[in-house]
Structure formats: C-alpha cells, structure tokens
Amino acid sequence: MASQSREQPVGRSGSSDAVADERDDEVDARARRATAPPAISVEGLSKTFGSGPDAVTAVNDVSFTVERGSVVGLLGPNGAGKTTTIKSILGMVLPDEGSVRIRGIDVHANPRQAYRHVDAMLEGARNDYWRLTVRENLRYFSTISGVDPNAVADRHESLLAQLDLAGRADTPVRDLSRGMKQKVSLASVLATDADVVFLDEPTLGLDVESSLTLRRELRRIVAERGLTVVLSSHDMDVIEDVCDRVVIMSDGQVIADDSVTSLLGGFDTHGYRIRGQDFDEQTVAAIRERFEVTEVERFDGRVHVEVATDSAGFYELTDLLEAHGVTLDAVNTVEPDLEEAFLEMTGGGAR
Ligand SMILES: Nc1ncnc2c1ncn2[C@@H]1O[C@H](COP(=O)(O)OP(=O)(O)OP(=O)(O)O)[C@@H](O)[C@H]1O
C-alpha cells in the first residue's frame, strides 16, 4: 500500500490536521492520566512508636491519594504525624499497618521500582555537599539518581537561572547564605528525573523576596514538568500559593482533605473594611454600639474602620452611615485565609 504523506506542521501554525492531531494527543494524555493509578496512594497507614504506657501512636489509619501532576500540602500542628506519614511513604519508617503505592506500585513489595521517580527534600534542607559548587551538586544528585548530568545540562542551567543561582553556580555551597543553600537543596531535587517530589519546609529560612521567587518558580517548574508534589510547610502563605489541595492532619489522623478554595469556601466572609473622610467620633461610637469593630485607623485624612459582620449586617451598617451623612470611598470584604481555617479545624493548636 502506498503510504500517504502528510505535511508536518511547522512551528505553531500547523495545518488543521496537525491541530486536530495535537488535540487528540492532549485528549489521549488526559485519558491516560484519568485511568493511570494516582501518583501516591496511602491506605490505612498506622504507626505506633514504643510500647506499653510510653507508646505513641503517631499515625492512625491515614488514607489519602495524590493525583498525578497535583501539588498537595500536608499540614498539621506539631506532632500531628506529618513527618511519620512522609517517612512511611518514602520507606524510611516501616508502618505497622497499611499500604503505600507510588504510581500503583507497592513500595514494600517493589521498593526499587516504586522509588525510581521519587525524590525528597526533608527537614528544610537536603544534604548538599558543601565543598562542591552549586553546579557540581546538581550534577552529583543527577548522577546518583541514575541520570547522565550531561543529558540534562539544559535543565540544570534553567534551574540555576529560575532560582536566581546562576551568578553563584561555581561557588562552593559552604560559602552561600542559608537561604541560598536552601535553594540549592531544592534545585538538586529538581535536577533529577524525579516526577514525584516531597518538599518539607522548602522556604524555611528564606527572606520574603526569596520565598516569593521560590514559590513562583516552583509553581512554574511544577506546571512545566507536570510534577507531583507533596509539600509540608508551617507557612500558610506558601501552601495557599503553591498547593491545589490540602490534607490536614491532627493527632495522627486526617481531619480535612480538600482543595484550598473549598476549604476557605466553608468559612463566611469575616467582615467589611470601609473607608471614608466624613467619619467623626460620634459616627465611630454609633458603629461600635451596634457592631463588633475590629480596627479603626486614621491616615491621610481618611478613617478606615473594620467591622466583623455578615452581609445582612453590612446593609444595616450602610443605613447607619447614611443616617450619619458618611460617604464611603471604598468597601472591601475581609476574607478568611488558610491560616484561620487551619486554626479553627485543629482547635487552634500550634503548628
Ligand atoms: N522515632 C520516634 N520515636 C518515638 N516517637 C516518635 C518518633 N517519631 C515521631 N514520634 C512521635 O510521633 C508523633 C508524631 O510525630 P511527627 O514527627 O510525625 O509529627 P509532625 O506532624 O511531623 O510534627 P512537626 O510539625 O513537629 O514536625 C509525635 O508525638 C512524636 O513525638
């Protein structure tokens, strides 16, 4: 049979056939993802340390799954069992009960195969080699994970650029600041071919700007490479910024497992922040009489008042302001954040 030749698309503006092919590929990829086993599945995991009266049940019947290509935050107060869960998934702790599968492969039955594409940055830093330079570390961790560093040299260069390490690529890690060492740890994890990555406190010790850069670049790298990430952090802004979903643990159990948006959706708007120029003491006193005022600030000739109330209360408030002849310049809602949701769910325990 004579083979039919078809022109290949050139660049982005291919033929309509090529566009249809691309769409088919995308549909196929989605279908494969939908039928493929999840990146991680944890089923009935339990672990008790010690025995008798000193026994501590760190993890008690924990189950959850992490879909491929998703970023899941693991949260909980100190001692909730997060580290024990992560170490059980990574095979560093042997659970008493339960199973862990990575891409459908049982980690206890087939550890080599299961962990082939897994890497982790635990307890705030990876054991980077301080005498090696930044670039040498990336090459070293690629090599020990079974990847030829020359074959992924481009990836290393872009990681160095994305994490703002390019200017220090040939500096020994020991001469870097703590925050930079932290970024080298992250880069070393991302330098390998791992597509399931555990990051414990990846922004620990970073200043605000570096933390923001790292979050932004992490999101970008994760999306570009379709990585699956389990991230634990005590910094709720990091979780809110980077994660699609959150698993909250308390006393060894999972107490919430939902998307960040749904978790916050379960909490009402806390109140309203209003701003105007015509507030006098009498108006503020009248507001205080009827509402819970959480803040009053005066600057630039304007008064900012924050009131905790629901939407019905807000209409009452606007009536009151009208009666006092106050014109509002701005009204903003005060929304709950993950920190508050977390504190409410865990009973306000320290993280
Ligand atoms: N090797 C161990 N021997 C004895 N008890 C342990 C051991 N590891 C953890 N525990 C206990 O298990 C419980 C859960 O600890 P785990 O470190 O998993 O919690 P965590 O949520 O990671 O806490 P943190 O946020 O403080 O790191 C704690 O009471 C801890 O003291």
Mark out the alpha helices in the chain (DSSP H runs): 16-35, 82-89, 111-114, 134-144, 153-162, 178-190, 208-225, 236-242, 260-265, 281-290, 311-323, 338-345
What is this model's ipTM? 0.97
pLDDT of 23 over the 80 cut: no
Q: Please give the pLDDT value at position 95.
A: 95
The span from the CA of 24 to the CA of 43, in Å, is: 34
How far, in Å, CA of 335 to CA of 346, rounded? 19
**Ligand 1 pocket, 87 CB below 6 A?**
no
The answer, yes or no, to whether any atom of ligand 1 lies below 6 A from the CB of 56, is yes
Percent of the chain with pLDDT over 70: 87
Please give the structure tokens belonging to residue 256.
Answer: 């919430």
Rounded-to-integer distance, Cα 163 and Cα 180, Å: 9
Query: Which of 37-41, 100-104, 193-197 is predicted least confidently?
Result: 193-197
CB 123 near ligand 1, within 6 Å: no
pLDDT for 30 = 62
Fold (topology level) of 271-335: Alpha-Beta Plaits (3.30.70)
Provide the residue ranges of all domains of the chain, joining segments of one domain with +.
Answer: 36-48+59-117+195-203+225-267+337-351, 125-193, 271-335
Q: How far is the CA of 187 from the centre of ligand 1 (A)?
A: 27
pLDDT for the residue 17: 58
Query: Which has more pLDDT, 144 or 254?
Result: 254
Q: Is the CB of 83 under 6 A from ligand 1?
A: yes
Average confidence score pLDDT of the chain: 84
pTM reported for the whole predicted model = 0.73
The best mutation among 57, 83, 201 to test binding of ligand 1, ranked by most ligand atoms within 8 Å of the C-beta, falls on 83
Percent of the chain with pLDDT over 90: 39
Q: For ligand 1, what atom is nearest to the CA of residue 50?
A: 4
Confidence class of residue 134 from pLDDT cuts 50, 70 and 90?
Answer: very high
pLDDT for res 9: 29
DSSP-H helix ranges across 194-337: 208-225, 236-242, 260-265, 281-290, 311-323
Predicted pLDDT of residue 12? 32
Q: Given a cut of 90, is residue 146 above it in pLDDT?
A: no
Ligand 1 atom 26 nearest Cα:
78
Residues 72 and 263 sit within 8 Å (Cβ to Cβ): no
Which residue minimizes the CA distance to atom 16 of ligand 1? 81
pLDDT band at 40 (very low <50, low <70, confident <90, very high): very high
Q: So what CATH class is 36-48+59-117+195-203+225-267+337-351?
A: alpha beta
Residue 344 has pLDDT above 80, yes or no: no
Residue 160: pLDDT over 50 = yes
Q: What mean pLDDT do residues 284-296 have?
A: 91
Residue 1 has a pLDDT of 36
The answer to whether the 36-48+59-117+195-203+225-267+337-351 and 271-335 domains have the same CATH topology is no
Which among 47, 78, 342 is the best mutation to test ligand 1's pocket, defined by most ligand atoms within 8 Å of the CB?
Answer: 78
